[in-house]
Amino acid sequence: SFFAQILSSGEPDQRKTGNYGVLCVDRVAQEEWSSLERTLISATAEQILQNLELSRDLFLTDVERQTLQLVFDGLQGLNAALDLESVYSAAAQALGLLVDADLFAISLIHSNYHELCYFSGDDKEQILNHKFVLDDSLLGQVVKYRKTLPETSTYNGHMPIVNGLKLFERYKTVLVVPLLQEDKPVTGALIIAARGENILTWNCREMIEIIAAQAAIKIDLAHSHEKIQQMAITDPLTGIANRRAFQRGFSAMYERARRRVGPFSLIICDIDLFKRVNDTYGHPFGDQVIQQVARQLKEVVRTGDLAARIGGEEFAVLLEDTGLAGALDVAERLRKKVEKLSLFSQGEAVPVTISLGVTEFPLDTDNQEALFNYADQALYHAKESGRNRSVCWHDVG
């Protein structure tokens, strides 16, 4: 005769884990199973069930321990990151320890749009640093409701993940996790996508949200760090580089030119009779003059060059891969632009001019300190010979 006992962790309406299987007992004899035999079989089934549940709990505990260790390792890397790019990479690496995904992306919110700042999948060049609207997208819903979506992580394509971006249609698993800190506004979102199905468990989602919360903190700190770094090298009055940034840029350009055996040029300029301007029209107007001259510098220099305010009314321009003729051309264009400025104080026109000294590495010298001193002396010659002019050290040295 045959007897079967379901291995279940509770009554049908109370089961937490469902059925484990069925214990089947068979024997040659045809008589019915006695009450004692049924009790023994049930007791055996209960013992098997307990062993199965214990094994399951041990397995889940081990998996959870391993998962927590992965999260811990990922958070360690994330906490060590300082700048934004390092934070993005560390967050993606932390997620990669947990999830076998095909795509990781980080998008940051800017008022009514968001920008993909990190992207590890295909089509990176076409997507990175592009701006997308928040409306009519799953990412927009995540920002609005401050929750991870979709609920099941299975992507059905009913709503675009990112408005105007169709690449997510090729993925079957998608998870968009908000970057948020307690009561602060959502600052961005993590996007995880995979071509496979059912790769994210609820436990995994919770761990991802822990990483996302830490990433939000680190991104906020990295933004603050970058602002502090920028403030440290920016002149507050003009918005151009300050003396510290100039010294750093000067040394870097000098070392590059030495390695390449190529030229670069230095221009030092000074606002003519600036003390008289300050004394006559006041310091606020003097500040306006400095700001206007700095604006002309920004318009003249190329990407890769450096314009800096290195003193009260003194400025410097570093021109990479530029010989003396090119530097003199830049100096003259700058001088003429300043000369054409229309500045007024209480209705009175105030003429403003600058004098400039120009040197070239290695034509004038291959010594960094001497190069600066020669430019300064050329500037002195420009002032002594009538102001409002550009003088090359090569012509007077």
pLDDT digits (tens, 9 = 90+) for 53-81: 777 766 665 656 666 666 666 677 777 77
Distance of alpha carbon 395 from alpha carbon 263, whole angstroms: 18
**pLDDT over threshold 50, residue 174:** yes
Peptide bond into 150 cis (omega under 30): yes
Residues known to be catalytic:
313
Q: What is the pLDDT of residue 74?
A: 62
Question: Could you tell me the CA-to-CA distances from 367 to 78, 269, 298, 363, 380 in Å, in that order?
Answer: 43, 20, 27, 11, 20
The predicted structure's pLDDT at residue 165: 85
Whole-structure pTM value:
0.63
Residue among 108, 106, 83 at smallest CA distance from 93: 106
The residue with greater pLDDT, 81 or 286, is 286
What is the pLDDT at residue 351? 95
Q: What is the pLDDT of residues 232-281, one digit of tens each?
A: 899 999 999 999 999 999 999 999 999 988 899 999 999 999 999 999 99
DSSP H helices in the chain: 35-80, 84-98, 124-127, 138-145, 202-232, 243-260, 274-281, 283-300, 324-339, 368-384, 393-396
Name the 3-class secondary structure at 107.
Answer: strand
**pLDDT tens-digit profile of 190-245?**
999 998 887 777 678 888 898 898 889 888 888 888 888 888 899 999 999 999 99
pLDDT tier, 363 (very low <50, low <70, confident <90, very high otherwise): very high
pLDDT value at 373 more than 90? yes
pLDDT at 274: 96
- Radius of gyration from C-alpha coordinates of the chain: 35
Q: Which residues are CB-contacts of 146 (< 8 A; sequence separation ≥ 6)?
A: 178, 180, 186
pLDDT for 1-39, tens place per residue? Answer: 777 878 776 544 333 455 668 888 888 888 888 888 888
User: What's the full length of the chain, in residues?
Assistant: 397
Q: Tell me the average pLDDT across 374-380.
A: 97
CB 20 within 8 A of CB 9: yes
- CA atoms of 247 and 233, how far apart (whole Å): 10
Q: Which residue's entry shows tokens 């003249």? A: 300
CB-CB contact of 233 with 244 (8 Å) = yes
Residue 169, pLDDT > 70, answer yes
Task: Give the model's pLDDT for residue 13.
Answer: 39
Contacts of 13 (CB under 8 A, 6+ apart): none
Q: What is the DSSP letter of 33?
A: P
| Phi, psi of 361, deg, nearest 5 | -100, 130
* pLDDT tens-place string over residues 318-362: 999 999 999 999 999 999 999 999 999 999 999 999 999 999 999
* Mean pLDDT for the stretch of residues 173-181: 92
